[in-house]
Chains A and B, each alone.
Chain A
Amino acid sequence: MKIALSLAALVALALAPFGVSDYGLGLLIGAVTYVTLASGWAVFSGHTRYVSLATVAFYGTGAYTVAVLNEAMPYWLVLIVAGLIGAAIALVVGLSTLRLAGVYFVIFTFGLSELVRQLITWYEVNVTGTLGRYIFLDVSAREIYWQMLALGAATIALTAWIQRHRLGLALRVIGDDEVVAAHSGIPLARTKLTAFVLSATILTLAGAIASPRWVYVEPSIVFNPTVSFLTVIMALLGGANRLWGPVLGAVPLFLAFEWLSARFPDTYPIFLGLLFILVVFALPDGILAGLERLKTRKTEDRA
């Protein structure tokens, strides 16, 4: 039943571009992109509670790969290469960060994004002598939307599968208590690494798919730390350890951003900040948990 419902929604979403304006399509792309980022982020961070701020390191790497390679090889090959590069970086980073936990991991991943950005900048300035690359790809907004939708749907399907699989259980135990997990024979390193690489590959692909909309790419544009923060906040807002949590966080927050910035171009950060603080106090464990609490209260009312 649930699967049938999800599939029907997916089909409806896939047909949506035929019924909306260009701006409607832009909204759909934005919403689906953030859903993909938040869900992809949650593949690793949702259960393990390792808050990663490296989202933009991968997202930006994906976009940058397209910018560098878009004239050298066909588009589908560029996407594959981008995914592979993302996975490779994640493997190296994952191997070296396994011993970090808590806030140290948070800050490390943030530093990683900045380091990648600085190194690419330095390389471009000193070796290639140009900074700023062009993406003149003939990919329409609809195609971007469908690709992103496919990636988002695949991510959610993957999450659903992981949750039922041994990997999901292992990740949950790690999130609850790593010592317990180690004692019960869960291979800590391999489990964390697998999830991290999967998550990073999704994030890299998302960047690669989104990039043709930007035309001009330079490190300060693609490695924008706001993307990392927004992803974390959207996932946490919805409930990062649930299948539909990131979706429920990403869509309303994205729309709130859009609505506020159009209505109050001068003062919208103030409203956004207030909204944020309000949400933290009103929905401490995310929207999904809040909804469930309402539901239980309702049934109690009836009883």
Chain B
Amino acid sequence: MLVTTLILGLVLGGTYALLALGLTLQYGISRIMNLAYGEFTLVSAFALVALFKGAGVPPLLAIVLIAPLGYAVGWILYAVMMRPLVARAGDAGRLDVASILATFGLMFLIQGGLLVTFGADFTSITYLDQGVNVLGVPVALNRLIAFAICVVAGGGLVLALGRTRWGLALRAVAQTPGSAPLVGIDVNRVARQGFALGTALAAIAGASIAMHQTFSATDGVVFTMKALVIVIMGGVGNVAGTLIAGLALGLVETFVATAIDPGLTLAATFAIFLVVLLWRPQGLFGRR
């Protein structure tokens, strides 16, 4: 039973962590509190379904197509919409307020567009959902794939941030945006890259959600909030922290559902989240 809980929890946590990766980059590096994040993932989820059902594109190939599109969309959005907000905001508090307001509008815009285009109905596809035996526990193959994507994307990101010059610049902007220009870093460019990369990750997360879950055009807020909780717990901008926090959350939910009461899973999520915040406001792995 313990093995079952462990495996189911890790697989669930993997999908959570993948969902949160993009947001931690957007908020950590670009300083944009993106309330439309969940809508970004939904757009990608709908795109995957449309590609699969309309054009017969296999979902795994569709993800490869959607991700760069997400990068491009994020790049443009940052340049057109977010950059002016950053330029005029001055300090972090004002930027938070401005970006919350602006992305709240964006959220309505995208949700309205999705409702008009795809309707209010539930959407899902059936793809690779046969069970696979993992240490005696049956797990759906599409969830395992999502977990693998999470490991690859998260691991790749950790390596890229830690080992490359580009990653160094990103981390510098994330930690001390004020002094980054002093060492010759173009903060605007890095922030744009961070936002675009975050959007690409949101697109990947959305596409993998479409493979294993039923969703509808009004689900965006749920995704945003889940991602936000994980980002804050893991420490804003901390990719490794986000991965660990996501996995931990999946484990806790599964454990509470099996050992205590499924009725308390969401309550447990928020309780742990609040405790973490009070105990370490900078997140489990954030630096002061």
Contacts and interface: CB of A to CB of B under 8 A. Distances in A.
A touches B (Cβ under 8 A) = yes
A49 B96 CA distance: 11
A203 B20 CA distance: 32
Interface in A258-274: 266-274
B105 A273 contact: yes
Interface in B73-129: 81, 84-85, 88, 92-93, 96-98, 100-102, 104-113, 115-116
Nearest to A119: B267
A229 B35 CA distance: 11
B270 interface: yes
A110 B225 contact: yes
What is the size category of the interface that chain B forms with chain A? 35 or more
A272 B108 contact: yes
A189 interface: no
Nearest to A276: B105
Contacts of B116: 266-267, 270
B91 to A, nearest CB: 10
Contacts of A195: none
Interface string A222-237: 0001000100110011
A288 to B, nearest CB: 15
Given A104-B232, A225-B221, A233 B101 contact: yes
B101 to A, nearest CB: 5
Contact of B84 (A126, A229, A279, A281): A281
B108 A273 contact: yes
Nearest to A122: B263
A100 B277 CA distance: 8
Contacts of B274: 108, 111-112, 115
What is the size category of the interface that chain A forms with chain B? 35 or more
Contacts of B101: 233, 236-237, 276, 279-280
Contacts, number: 122
Nearest to A125: B263
Interface in B242-288: 261, 263-264, 266-267, 270-271, 273-274, 277-278, 281-282
Nearest to B110: A273
B228 interface: yes
Interface string A101-131: 1111011101110110011011001100000
A128 to B, nearest CB: 14
A232 B100 CA distance: 10
Main secondary structure of the interface of A (DSSP, over half): helix
A120 B104 CA distance: 28
Contact of B267 (A118, A279, A280): A118
B281 to A, nearest CB: 5
Contacts of A119: 267
Interface string A59-100: 000000000000000000000000000000000000011011
Among B111, B228, B267: residue with most chain A CB under 10 A: B267
A97 B281 CA distance: 10
Nearest to A230: B104
Contacts of B221: 225
B96 A102 contact: yes
Main secondary structure of the interface of B (DSSP, over half): helix
A284 B88 contact: yes
A111 B229 contact: yes
Nearest to B93: A49
Interface in A48-63: 49, 51
A211 to B, nearest CB: 23
B45 interface: no
Among B92, B111, B232: residue with most chain A CB under 10 A: B232
A277 interface: yes
B100 A274 contact: no
B108 A269 contact: yes
A104 B277 contact: yes
A121 B267 CA distance: 10
Among B97, B228, B263: residue with most chain A CB under 10 A: B97
B241 to A, nearest CB: 14
Contacts of B92: 102
Contacts of B144: none
A280 B112 contact: no
A254 B267 CA distance: 32
B33 interface: yes
Contacts of A9: none
B277 A270 contact: no
A232 B109 CA distance: 19
Contact of A102 (B93, B109, B225, B271): B93
A275 interface: yes
Contact of B97 (A107, A115, A225, A236): A236
Interface string B5-26: 0000000000000000000000
Contacts of B88: 284
Contacts of A273: 105-112
Contacts of B109: 269-270, 273-274, 277
13 contacts: A99-B281, A100-B281, A102-B93, A103-B33, A108-B274, A111-B270, A114-B270, A118-B267, A125-B263, A126-B261, A270-B116, A272-B108, A277-B105
Given A110-B225, A236-B97, 5 more contacts: A104-B232, A267-B116, A273-B108, A274-B109, A280-B102
